[in-house]
Structures are given as C-alpha cells and as structure tokens.
Structure 1
Amino acid sequence: MTHCPECGAPAEPRSCEELFQVLLALDHSRQPPWGPLHGVSVSCFLLQHPARIPGADAAPPWSLLHAYLRDGLDGANRRIRHARRGNSHRHPGGFVPAVPEVAAPDVDRPPARFAVTIADVAGGGDFPAEGFAGRVRDWAAATVDAWTSRPG
C-alpha cells in the first residue's frame, strides 16, 4: 500500500487530495456538521500538507487551530472574523495580518507522520455526519501535537 508523502495517510482507495475535494464540497454546502468546521478542516489539511500553504506562511492555520483547541468553534470563528476584517478593502491601510498567539512552525521541517489524518476523518470516504465534529477535533489535536512534539 502506498502512503501520502506528506501526512503518511494511506493513498488508497482515495488520495488525500481526492478526500479533500469531497470534504470541500461538503464544507461549501454550509450545512452542519461540515460547513461550520470548514476553517478548521482546511487548517488541518494545510498543516498536514505544508507544500500547499500559501506563501509558506503557517501562521493563519496554526493560529486558527490553537484558537479552536483552546476555545472551541467560537474561538475559531473569532479568529476567522479577525482575519476577514484585516483582509477587507474597507480596512484603512490595507491588510492587517493576525498576530499568532503561538509561534507558527517552520513548514520547511514538517513531521513525517500524523496520528490522525484526513483519511481517518473521512470515515470510509464520505465524511459521515455522525461523529464528524469529534473526528475533526482529534485531527486538529493530532496536527498540533505532531508539529509541537517533533524532534529538533
């Protein structure tokens, strides 16, 4: 069996990219439980696949996961609202990046494996609603844990 070179998840029967596209379709439906957790899911995926992080800036997804793990969905939503306000054309002076409360990891040195990946959250590939929020919380915790406990 082949595995994802970035997160270590099984690449069969669906790759991480294929699973991510399924998840995005569910997220964009804006229906619970998927829609409300969109930012958290995207942050987990990006931090487990750091080659896809725009500008190699891990601060936004890193801050969002810390806010989520500390304060739940309300904390994540506050972080998202702050980022949207700062990125708004209505903000005087232009873009104001969110200041991470915890230093973001160096995406050039990612962990080799994660205890929970998108394959685990997919629950067979269709991201069943039952237990989805708990699986995403486990995914977020495993993502942060892998980045913070890696050697050197």
Structure 2
Amino acid sequence: MKHPIPAVPRHPRFASRPYRGALMLAGVVAIGACASTPEPPTAALQAAATAIRHAEQARVADYASPELGEARKQLAAAKMAVQNEDMVVAERLAVQSRHAADLATAKTEAVKAQAVNDEMRKSTESLKQEMQRHTGVQP
C-alpha cells in the first residue's frame, strides 16, 4: 500500500503573483536596453573632420604630410567602425584622428615659426654688418 504524499500548504505570501510575469518582462527589457548598440560618436567624428580641414587650410601637406595622411586614414577607419556598429572603436579612432591632425598642424606651425626666426636672424646679421661698415666699430 502506497502512502500518499501530503500536500504542502502554501503560505499566502507565496501564492501566485499576477505581477511576477510583468516584473520578469521588465527585467528582460532592461537587460536588452543595456546590451543595445551605443550611439555613434558624432561629436568625435565631426571634431576629427574639422581638425583635418583646418590642417588642410594651413597647408600642412607641405610640411607634415605623414601626420595628415595618418589623420585621414584614422578618420576613414572610424567611419568604417560606425558602419560595423563598433562605436567604442569608432570613437577611439576619431579621437586619434583629431590628435594626428592637430599634431600635423602644430608641426607645420613650428616649421613656419622656425623659418621666420631664421629670416630674422639673417636680417639682424645683415644690420650688424652694415653698422660695422659705417661706424668701423666691432661688436
């Protein structure tokens, strides 16, 4: 003879809850929202493009062509990463592109400033020689 297993009485607090399904659905939606693709790094892409345009206007290609080429390459890679929905990589590449363009601009400005300094040195030397010739005084 089998003995029936007695039913375990349920506590009223643990009775079926009508909101349990809604709570589970809300949890799934919340987790799904966290896992969605982040927004494209539009600001970083625009900043990089602006820095490259600024470098081109400053005639950077004449003095710092490798850096400007690198900036363009990184911006193109950032745009490709956006198309591949890899926004973290896209932002990193866009920031690197902007830095490369800024470096190219800074190098160009340094070369131009050095040229101005050299010209001023030559002018100063020329003036000194003229003064010596007219006064006969050695500096």
**TM-score tier after normalising by the smaller chain length:** 0.3 to 0.5
Bigger fraction of residues in helix? 2
| Length-normalised TM-score, structure 1 | 0.33
| Length-normalised TM-score, structure 2 | 0.36
Q: Which has the higher contact order (CA 8 A, sep 6+)?
A: 1
